[in-house]
Amino acid sequence: MARLRHTDWPDQLWIVRHGQSAGNVARDAAELAQTHLIDIDTRDADTPLSELGHLQSRALAAWFADLPPGRRPNVIMTSTFVRAQQTVHPVADALGIDRSDILVDERLREKEFGVLDRYTVAGILATFPALAAQRAAVGKFYFRPPGGESWCDVILRLRSVTEVLRRDHVGDRVLIVAHQVIVNCFRYLLECMDEARILEIDRNADVPNCSITEYALDREDPEGRFTLRTANLALPLEEAGAPVTTASDTPAGPR
């Protein structure tokens, strides 16, 4: 794995996927029933956590609060989407960080699916066979559905977030709560990956809800680099006895 050579990074960076959402539950039910549409009455940005998702977010908050004071997040950033903010609010409360100090950033929002939004795999194949064929030919990294985004589009907006981290948060301990594709696209950037490597990671497993991916910089080491410490750690939920859930957010169609 390549190591970023710059030292102008936060001391620690945690990137966390939101807790289980009502959309995750509805998507699982739709896929199981082989229906074409996911039955949910909110737009994606307004989809809340499920009851289990709230339990997971409280377990996440307790885990961060148990860290030594000098190792807890002192900066919190989150997606504009409701499920991410509902995940991060208990964490902020547990750390004594005022909710008004949370940095809410639209660049951390979920990947936009355009015309494929709310469709299951079966629904995409039945309703948009030409798009399904195009996606299979182009690959999910570059495929952009009409009105939506490719992974490259998401990575482009996250590049500017990394510049904010390096400009405004050098030496801070930053927590970002966002979405599955955001976690993987940050990994692509921060670990200097290529298309094949990040798609292999995505293909092997979904990012667990409320799991933690952590990067850190050892300033005591003259050769220290900003590097990955752990990926998709589900320990906060396991320690709290909360179920670990891994359903995808994406109506991604055939892999």
Write the DSSP string, the chain. ---B----S-SEEEEEEPPPBHHHHHHHHHHHHT-SB---SS-GGG--B-HHHHHHHHHHHHHHHTS-GGGS-SEEEE-SSHHHHHHHHHHHHHHT--GGGSEE-GGGSPPPBGGGTTB-HHHHHHH-HHHHHHHHHH-TTT---TTB--HHHHHHHHHHHHHHHHHH-TT-EEEEEE-HHHHHHHHHHHTT--HHHHHHHHHH-PPPTT-EEEEEE-TTSTT--EEEEEEEE-HHHHHHTPPP----S------
83 assigned ligand-binding residue: yes
Q: Report the binding-site residues for substrate.
A: 83
Residues forming the annotated binding site? Answer: 83
